[in-house]
Amino acid sequence: MMAKRKRRNLRPARTERQYPPVEAGLLSPTRRVPATIARPPYAQSGQPPPSTSALVRTPTELAAMRRTGAAAAGILMQAGTLAKPGVTTDAIDRLVHELAIEAGSYPSPLNYRGFPKSVCTSVNEVICHGIPDSRPLRDGDIINIDVTIYREGVHGDTSATFLVGDVDPESVELVKVTLESLDLAIAALRPPAMVRDIGRAIEAHAQKYRLGVVREFIGHGVGTEFHSNLQIPHCYDRRLSIPIEQGTTFTVEPMLTLGSPQPAVWDDDWTAVTIDGSRSAQFEHTLVLGENGAEPLTVTETGECAHEMVRATIKDLGYTIQDLGYTIKDLGFSTD
Ligand code: MF3
Ligand code: CO
Ligand code: CO
């Protein structure tokens, strides 16, 4: 029996700034990976074998995940520098593909369940799994770039949402609160950690800003497999009193929306958009649960990641956590 949920109003669509919906562009030819690069099991057929991997990593696997995670973080940072007006998502795919190979890794999305490109690029109302194509980024867009690479037998999976040029304040707030919700989820994971701690932190923060949380796409165990059996919902569910064992590697990747969090999938069978066309943002880290809490593995050796690039951009715009709080009250909604 589902716990009775309070209905909470989401934001109405804003009228000041209207954006045309994202439209699919054209796909470039399939990119090649040199034969010298070790491939994950699905690379040829497109079908990952049924998940059999342990949730907890061996010390050797964990060391590999730190190196692969660091490489993925560096690639995402470089990809983020392309989030500028006029750059096509295909150009981002080309860069990620080339950097992955340069790092001796396989770009995990390529042919994963038939995905045609090497990275996911999700613009504006695209929630996730956007396919890079000939669409140039426009001033005011937001774009999530989701990089996963496979090296030394393990995957590193990380994403960030970047601001393209001059972005409206509501979208900046969406991006900011989404990043904060990931940070709060990570901070909530103090042993003895449970799966539901993650959704609780994310959903509480989103609700404070009247943002939606997407339920249909979730975080996952990651390691020797791209997606293992461990499921990590981003909404609170008290039944998820599932302990996370130390040494478990998994992602947290909340997707928050300005309006309805309900997805619809394009007939390319991948691109997930909000049904109401409202914008969606996402941030993702691959984490390991250690004795002192959850530690991001998708950071460079010096601890840097694209999330800090985005945080710096938002700070430069002069936003602080309280600044946009007014939008909630000014919309005149009751709070429950
Ligand atoms: N990187 C995505 C995730 O966070 C998965 C992309 S699957 C793909 O789980 F096939 F679309 F690449
Ligand atoms: Co993921
Ligand atoms: Co990802």
In a domain, 21, yes or no: no
Q: Where are the beta strands (DSSP E) in 164-308?
A: 212-213, 219-220, 231-232, 249-252, 255-257, 263-265, 272-274, 280-282, 285-290, 293-296
Q: Which atom of ligand 1 is nearest to the CA of 113?
A: 10
Name the residue with the closest Cα to ligand 1, atom 2: 146
In a domain, 190, yes or no: yes
Percent of the chain past pLDDT 70, that is, above it, reads: 90
Is the CB–ligand 1 distance for residue 147 below 6 Å? no
Residue from 54, 55, 293, 287 nearest 192 by CA: 293
Q: Supply the pLDDT for residue 333.
A: 34
Structural domain of residue 115, as residue ranges? Answer: 59-329
pLDDT digits (tens, 9 = 90+) for 67-111: 999 999 999 999 999 999 999 999 999 999 999 999 999 999 999
Would you say 106 and 150 are in contact if contact means Cβ atoms under 8 Å apart?
yes
Would you say 181 and 280 are in contact if contact means Cβ atoms under 8 Å apart?
no
Q: What is the total count of domains within the chain?
A: 1
Give distance in angstroms: CA of 20 to centre of ligand 2.
28
- Interacting residues of 69 by C-beta distance below 8 A, sequence separation 6+: 156, 158, 286, 296, 297, 298, 299
d(CA 125, CA 224): 32
Quick check: helix, strand or coil at residue 90?
A: helix
Residue for token digits 């994950």? 40
- pTM of structure: 0.93
In a domain, 50, yes or no: no
pLDDT digits (tens, 9 = 90+) for 256-286: 999 999 999 999 999 999 999 999 999 999 9
Using CA atoms, how far residue 127 sits from 4, 85, 168, 278, in Å, is: 26, 20, 18, 10
Q: What is the CATH number of the domain that holds 229?
A: 3.90.230.10
Distinct helix (H) and strand (E) counts, the chain? 6, 15
Give distance in angstroms: CA of 129 to centre of ligand 1.
6
| Helix (H), strand (E) at residue 144 | strand 142-151
Q: Which atom of ligand 1 is nearest to the CA of 227?
A: 9
In a domain, 150, yes or no: yes
Is the CB–ligand 1 distance for residue 148 below 6 Å? yes
pLDDT digits (tens, 9 = 90+) for 299-328: 999 999 999 999 999 999 988 655 554 443
In a domain, 282, yes or no: yes
d(CA 324, CA 170): 8
Strand-pair partners of 286? 251
Q: Supply the pLDDT for residue 191.
A: 86
Q: Supply the pLDDT for residue 332.
A: 33
Is the CB–ligand 1 distance for residue 197 below 6 Å? no
In a domain, 274, yes or no: yes
In a domain, 175, yes or no: yes
Is the CB–ligand 1 distance for residue 149 below 6 Å? no
Backbone angles phi, psi at 121, to 5 degrees: -125, 115
Give distance in angstroms: CA of 227 to centre of ligand 2.
7
In a domain, 159, yes or no: yes
In one-letter notation, the amino acid at residue 168 is D
Q: Which atom of ligand 1 is nearest to the CA of 147?
A: 1
Name the residue with the closest Cα to ligand 1, atom 12: 109
Q: Which atom of ligand 1 is nearest to the CA of 217?
A: 9
Backbone angles phi, psi at 327, to 5 degrees: -60, -35
Q: Which atom of ligand 1 is nearest to the CA of 220?
A: 9
Token pair for 133: 């194509």
Residue from 137, 160, 151 nearest 78 by CA: 160
